[in-house]
Amino acid sequence: MTDNTNPIEPCQRAGGKVILLGEHAVVYGHSALVLGGRNGARAWARLAPESCLRLGEKHHCISSSLPSELSPALSAFRALLHVLNAPSVRVEAQLDIPAGMGLGASAALAVAIARAVVVCRGEGAKEPERAKNASSGEILAAANAWENVFHGNASGVDTAAALQAGCLWFNREEGATRLAVPQMPHAVVAVADRAASTRVMVENVARQRTRHPLQVGALFDRIGQLAQSAKLWSLQGNWQQVGALMSQNHLSLKSLGVSTDKLDAACRVAMGAGAYGAKLTGAGGGGCVVALCEASRGPEVVEAWRHSGYQVLQFA
């Protein structure tokens, strides 16, 4: 924080995610297998005369003279504060992962900001401990209010994964459950194409579904079945089988029209270097691919991607 009229609360964090199987189908009630990461976003908050969000170099201040329609970030911030019944706060937030790449950056921001606001709202409250102790349901509701401004019909998978790290099983009805996998997979991620909008991709899929309900419904069913099988293999720690299912999931996403030539090419490069499987991750239309491989093969996949000009990200 730059201005120091109030003590700085400790930084609050939330993680990004990679979807191993199930994106898009998860919007329509199917389940997804997800890795929740530890790094994603950090946020700080302090009480202030008016609510303001500083995101990188941009300031979004809630003042009566500015209609919230002018800025989606401001509308999202306002919605999040409303759910938390927050006092006026000044928030500063930073992303540690790239935005628009399918890694859940916006949800990580939302959860980190909600956590920071909750810590801060304890100050000056009649019952500070109570005000400080939000349930995870309250944080999730605030983050989902933020996400729905950006993404419209978000399934909630990104916010659920921002809340907890690990191997997660998610669907709209039951939320996220952490799977007791015997060991975590070795996952590597590459930025394969330019950033894309999740909202646009989810809307494109919804249009496809209206035009071709049977075909798109069958693709969702197929993706849902692949995710169910992957859950069983992951519980046995058989990431080789999960990888093979991910490659099949990629083909279904391609049929859904959300892959790109660059995403397809990045998957081929990973497979050529010995990965168990590879697919686009997130909404598609650009962004990242994720590959699973034997840990000893990781450097070869990374090297093959770098050699082909892709940026490789550490997923932690």
C-beta closer to ligand PMV: residue 286 or 304: 286
Least Cβ distance, residue 215 to ligand PMV (angstroms): 18
Least Cβ distance, residue 118 to ligand PMV (angstroms): 23
**How far, in Å, CA of 37 to CA of 236, rounded?**
21
Tokens 């930084």 — which residue?
A: 11
Helix (H, G, I), strand (E, B) or coil at 51: coil
Beta strands 32-47 and 12-21 are antiparallel
Helices (H), the chain: 72-84, 105-121, 128-132, 136-151, 157-163, 198-211, 213-235, 239-255, 261-272, 298-307
> Is residue 283 at the binding interface for ligand PMV, with CB under 6 A as the rule?
yes
> Is residue 24 at the binding interface for ligand PMV, with CB under 6 A as the rule?
yes
C-beta closer to ligand PMV: residue 147 or 264: 147
> Is residue 117 at the binding interface for ligand PMV, with CB under 6 A as the rule?
no
C-beta closer to ligand PMV: residue 98 or 274: 98
C-beta closer to ligand PMV: residue 72 or 122: 72
- Angle between helix 198-211 and helix 213-235 axes, rounded to 10 deg: 120
Least Cβ distance, residue 67 to ligand PMV (angstroms): 26
> Is residue 243 at the binding interface for ligand PMV, with CB under 6 A as the rule?
no
Around 23, how many Cα atoms within 13 Å sit in the side-chain half-sphere? Answer: 33
Q: Which stretch binds ligand PMV (CB under 6 A): 98-106, 182-190, 226-234, 293-301?
A: 98-106
C-beta closer to ligand PMV: residue 37 or 104: 104
> Is residue 250 at the binding interface for ligand PMV, with CB under 6 A as the rule?
no
Q: Which stretch binds ligand PMV (CB under 6 A): 68-76, 102-110, 135-143, 218-226?
A: 102-110
Strand partners, 34: 19, 168
Q: Pick the binder of ligand PMV from 9, 20, 23, 302 (CB under 6 A).
A: 23
> Is residue 192 at the binding interface for ligand PMV, with CB under 6 A as the rule?
no
Residue 146: closest CA among 208, 104, 181, 177: 104
For the segment 144-183, give every residue that binds ligand PMV (CB under 6 A): 151, 154-155, 157-158
Per the CB < 8 A criterion, the answer to whether 251 and 284 are in contact is: no
Q: What angle do CA 197, 199, 202 make, to 5 degrees?
A: 110
Residue 164: closest CA among 107, 216, 219, 205: 107
Least Cβ distance, residue 315 to ligand PMV (angstroms): 13
Q: What is the CA radius of gyration of the chain?
A: 20
**How far, in Å, CA of 315 to CA of 188, rounded?**
7
Q: Which stretch binds ligand PMV (CB under 6 A): 22-30, 36-44, 77-85, 187-195?
A: 22-30
Number of residues that bind ligand PMV (CB under 6 A): 16
List contacts with ligand PMV (CB under 6 A): 23-24, 26-27, 102-104, 151, 154-155, 157-158, 198, 202, 282-283
